């Protein structure tokens, strides 16, 4: 007797249960199953997918930063015991890097193999290409030099495509367009080490959105947009201060 096909509603229920239980690997598995069975995702389904990978990778990125800092601190100590400890810490860092690399490559593969091919023009395409830029950016954060350059270029290409599409298809106040602008600016600051380009992109997005704010949008959209604008403004203040310090130090 062939196995019964799980309905879309059942996949979604199981995905929501996994989210509530903070079982993010299970959540990924449910959304993958849904994609393989039914194709394109709804807005709710792709938001669940985004939540799953964000939680998985945020935890690993945080762990990597802690272990990387410990390794650098221990490396500064000249004793023989420190060398042994550095070796042990490095081993743990490499394990975390592998898990993080696997997670990032997993969502990029899902995007390339399934989701981008079925994405409709407009918000859906921007959403998926933004994700692609994000996860290549995460890979670029900790990769070795040659790989870092490759991941950086792949992230830039995805962000550029998404941003060009967003400028043509979405309103300046659209949360997906603003979220993309924020993450693209972070890319320029963190990966390309260019606070100038980060500020230029971020300020342009911020000014355009503020000029277009009105009461015609739904309360939820307005809340989402205002939250991203606040994050963008906070980053612009920090990046502008960095640029001023650089000028003074020169």
Residue range 197-223: mean pLDDT, rounded: 85
The tokens of 129 are what? 């290409």
Q: Which residues contact 56 (CB under 8 A, 6 or more apart)?
A: 24, 25, 28, 103
Residue range 62-78: mean pLDDT, rounded: 90
Position 1 pLDDT exceeds 60: no
> Tell me, what's the pLDDT at 2?
56
Show the domains of the chain with their CATH numbers.
1-118 (1.20.190.20)
Distance of CA 136 to the CA centre of its chain: 8
Q: Taking the complete model, does pTM exceed 0.95, yes or no?
A: no
Give the model confidence (pLDDT) of 110-157 as tens digits: 999 999 999 999 999 999 999 999 999 999 999 988 899 999 999 999
Q: Which residues contact 104 (CB under 8 A, 6 or more apart)?
A: 57, 135, 136, 138, 139
The three-state secondary structure class of 250 is coil
Among residues 129, 133, 131, 151, the alpha carbon closest in space to that of 142 is found at 151
């Amino acid at each position: 007797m062939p196995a019964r096909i799980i309905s879309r509603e059942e996949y979604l229920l199981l995905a929501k249960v996994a989210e509530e239980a903070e079982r993010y690997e299970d959540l990924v598995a449910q959304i993958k199953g849904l994609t393989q069975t039914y194709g394109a995702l709804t807005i709710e389904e792709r938001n669940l997918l985004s939540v799953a990978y964000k939680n998985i990778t945020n935890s690993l990125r945080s762990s990597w930063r802690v272990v990387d800092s410990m390794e650098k601190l221990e490396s500064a100590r000249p004793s023989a015991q420190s060398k042994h400890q550095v070796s042990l810490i490095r081993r743990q860092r490499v394990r975390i890097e592998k898990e993080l690399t696997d997670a990032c490559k997993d969502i990029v593969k899902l995007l390339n193999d399934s989701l981008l091919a079925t994405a409709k023009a407009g918000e859906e395409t921007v959403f998926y290409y933004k994700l692609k830029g994000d996860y290549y950016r995460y890979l670029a954060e900790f990769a070795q030099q040659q790989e870092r350059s490759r991941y950086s270029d792949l992230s830039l290409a995805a962000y550029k495509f998404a941003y060009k599409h967003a400028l043509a298809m979405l309103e300046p106040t659209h949360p997906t367009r603003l979220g993309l602008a924020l993450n693209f600016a972070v890319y320029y600051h963190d990966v390309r080490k260019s606070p100038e380009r980060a500020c230029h992109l971020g300020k342009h997005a911020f000014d355009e959105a503020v000029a277009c704010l009105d009461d015609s949008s739904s309360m939820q959209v307005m809340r989402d947009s205002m939250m991203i604008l606040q994050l963008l403004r906070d980053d612009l203040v920090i990046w502008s201060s960095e640029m001023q310090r650089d000028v003074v130090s020169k």
